[in-house]
Structure 1
Amino acid sequence: MKCYLSYRPLSKWLFFTPLLPFCRLSFVGLFLMFFLTLSFFSKVEAQRFSTDLWHQGEVYPFQEAPLKGEVRYNFEQNSLILKLDNGTLRSFHASQIEKFFINDALKKQTRYIFSLPYFSAKDPNYQTLHFFELQIEGELNLLSREIFVQDYLYAYNPYFGYSQPYQVLRESQEWFLFEIEGSRLVAFQTEDKNLLREQLLSFMANKKEQVLAFIQEKDLKLQKQADWFALIRYYNTLFEN
């Protein structure tokens, strides 16, 4: 946010010398309001997300050898830009690559993103390749897509004496389950705990008795992300040799 403060030339202020104490007080107040306003809006400007940054990584095109460099990705557009060591920029769509890995400069972790066929929201009858990030790997894979949600928060403004709303972007995830054997990829509804349980058990039907026993033994509350993470990991161990 830019703020411009207009002012009169100094020569014109000299005609109002008797009013200087009052003007000085007003100016101090104006300056304080200006400073507090900048501090208030800095909350919004300070937001940083991984999608805005460059990350060291490796890209695997379908018809080329793997390429290393700096990667900047976009889940919404299913695209990425690769900056090679010589400074050359190359752009890729999900339809052109098998996968890519990055060492996330913000989250300080390695992330694995794959291109998988999924029905386009614009055309539900046509499958296109979309980016999906691998969260849990095994017989049943948990995948996610990065999304951003607008929230309204309130911060107390000491100059005005009350809280003011400001808009922020919050990073969130859309969740998906992918079964290798059946090549099933479905959106995973985590908000409704009953539907969540139903979806999980439908994917785990071949190990239903062990899964239900594990839920009871560990007293899992499947509305909690940590608990359904634990259940998926346990299910995958049932296929380990």
Structure 2
Amino acid sequence: MRRLFLFMIFCAAGFLSHAQEFSSEVWHDGYLITTEDDTVRGLIKYDMEANIVQLIQGNVVKTFSSHKIFYFEIYDKLVDNYRQFYSIPYNVNYNYEIPIIFEVLYEGPLSLLSREAIVQESVSNSSAYWGGSFIQDKVHYTFYFLHKDGKIDIYLGKKSDLMNIMSKHSSEVKSFIKKNRLKTDELRDLIRITAFYNAI
């Protein structure tokens, strides 16, 4: 009986990990603006790692590379919100710039952007009946800051790096983070910090 119970727990954990849906794996209602200023509407699926967007119009699936995209917007049912993306030139190697897809999390004089990837991580199982760990897929975000002059800084979550990026008002930002107990590597808190900085 106990073996059956353990087996059921194991299967349930496996089912939950497989049943999890990620926004980049499903189709969304939306529209896309090409670099030639054409607006195309339909069902959209994006792939930031490959820097492509697929769009279903009628019964035809069209694929757009980041070189052909200016902007696209989707209504993401998984998060119940509209999301906006731009294809922006970015220096991927020394002196080598290509357009890649960024999501805009906050737009202002200093804009907060992100890119996402699905990664696998080991998660500890705290069950009294079944210890050890299992592998789980998770969305990992890499953040970037876009300045007014078009310069893009990658941001890896360190508070000191954030203070350098926001050096104009670093003391005010430090106080705001401390007062509100914000974490500089969490998406929601980073949006709040960026909004505060832009409001100063």
TM-score, length-scaled by structure 1? 0.72
2:192 alignment partner, one of 227, 230, 234: 230
Distance in 2, matches of 1:228 and 1:145, equals 14
Instruction: Report the CA distance between 1:156 and its aligned residue.
Output: 6.0
- RMSD across aligned positions (CA): 2.6
1:163 alignment partner, one of 115, 120, 131: 131
Structure 2 letter corresponding to 1:216: S
Which has the larger Rg?
A: 1
Q: Which stretches in structure 1 are left out of the alignment for 5+ residues?
A: 1-27
Q: Contact 1:103/1:111 (CA < 8 Å) preserved in 2?
A: yes
Q: Contact 1:40/1:155 (CA < 8 Å) preserved in 2?
A: no
Does 1:94 find its partner at 2:57? no
Q: Contact 1:147/1:172 (CA < 8 Å) preserved in 2?
A: yes
Between the aligned residues of both structures, percent identity stands at 22
Distance in 2, matches of 1:98 and 1:152, equals 37
Q: Secondary structure at the match of 2:108?
A: coil
Question: Superposition pairs for residues 184-195 of structure 1, below 5 Å?
Answer: 184-190=151-157, 192-195=158-161
Distance in 1, matches of 2:108 and 2:126, equals 48
Instruction: Report the CA distance between 1:172 and its aligned residue.
Output: 2.1
Instruction: Report the CA distance between 1:199 and its aligned residue.
Output: 2.3
Q: Does the C-alpha gap of structure 1 residues 193 and 214 become closer, same or farther in structure 2, counting only changes over 3 Å?
A: closer
Distance in 1, matches of 2:197 and 2:4, equals 61
Q: Contact 2:29/2:74 (CA < 8 Å) preserved in 1?
A: yes
Q: Secondary structure at the match of 1:63?
A: coil
Distance in 1, matches of 2:46 and 2:64, equals 9
Instruction: Report the CA distance between 1:81 and its aligned residue.
Output: 0.5
Q: Report the structure, 1 or 2, having the larger helix content.
A: 1
Distance in 1, matches of 2:94 and 2:117, equals 20
Q: Contact 2:173/2:197 (CA < 8 Å) preserved in 1?
A: no
Q: Does the C-alpha gap of structure 1 residues 155 and 189 become closer, same or farther in structure 2, counting only changes over 3 Å?
A: closer
Distance in 1, matches of 2:99 and 2:115, equals 13
1:144 alignment partner, one of 106, 114, 139: 114
Q: Contact 2:70/2:87 (CA < 8 Å) preserved in 1?
A: yes
Instruction: Report the CA distance between 1:74 and its aligned residue.
Output: 0.4
Q: Which stretches in structure 2 are left out of the alignment for 5+ residues?
A: none
Instruction: Report the CA distance between 1:230 and its aligned residue.
Output: 3.0
TM-score, length-scaled by structure 2? 0.85
Number of aligned residues: 197
Q: Secondary structure at the match of 1:89?
A: strand
Distance in 2, matches of 1:55 and 1:74, equals 13
Does 1:41 find its partner at 2:8? no
- Out of 219-228 and 69-78, give the one that drifted further: 219-228
1:108 alignment partner, one of 80, 91, 97: 80
Q: Contact 2:53/2:65 (CA < 8 Å) preserved in 1?
A: yes
